Amino acid sequence: MKKKSVQIEIPLSIYELLQDIAQSSGWSFEDVILQTIKSGLPPSLGKVPVDFHEGLLALNSLGDRDLLRVVEGELPKNLPQGPDSADFKLLRQTYALRLLKWRGHPIPSPYETLVS
């Protein structure tokens, strides 16, 4: 696996929390940071058919209210329609939910199983 070194500044409180987790878990500090980043990444399109990528990636430019509208089946006028299939419509709604979750919003209970 290729690696890239990145230098960032983080608040001392977060650094100390990550250090505490590393010490208590027996993991290296680097592994704790990598796991934290992996679990906090936005939704991946790795298992999604390539034909759906453009339509799903367009959701990243939407605000939170518009994403919620997508979840509810409404589409903003400026959003590409994407393929006209039930699979794509469900993926679009699920991707919108995952974006909302990634942005820190609570997911209403009827939708929780779609983003777990």
Asked whether residue 95 carries a pLDDT value surpassing 90, the answer given is yes
Q: How far apart are CA 87 and CA 47, in angstroms?
A: 13
Model pLDDT, residue 20: 96
Average pLDDT, stretch 15-20?
96
| Residue 95: CB atoms within 10 Å | 26
Average pLDDT, stretch 46-70?
92
Asked whether residue 110 carries a pLDDT value surpassing 80, the answer given is no
Number of residues that this document lists for the chain:
116
pTM, two decimals, is: 0.72
Domain ranges for the chain: 1-41, 50-115
Q: Please state which CATH number belongs to domain 1-41.
A: 1.10.1220
Asked whether residue 113 carries a pLDDT value surpassing 80, the answer given is no
Asked whether residue 101 carries a pLDDT value surpassing 70, the answer given is yes
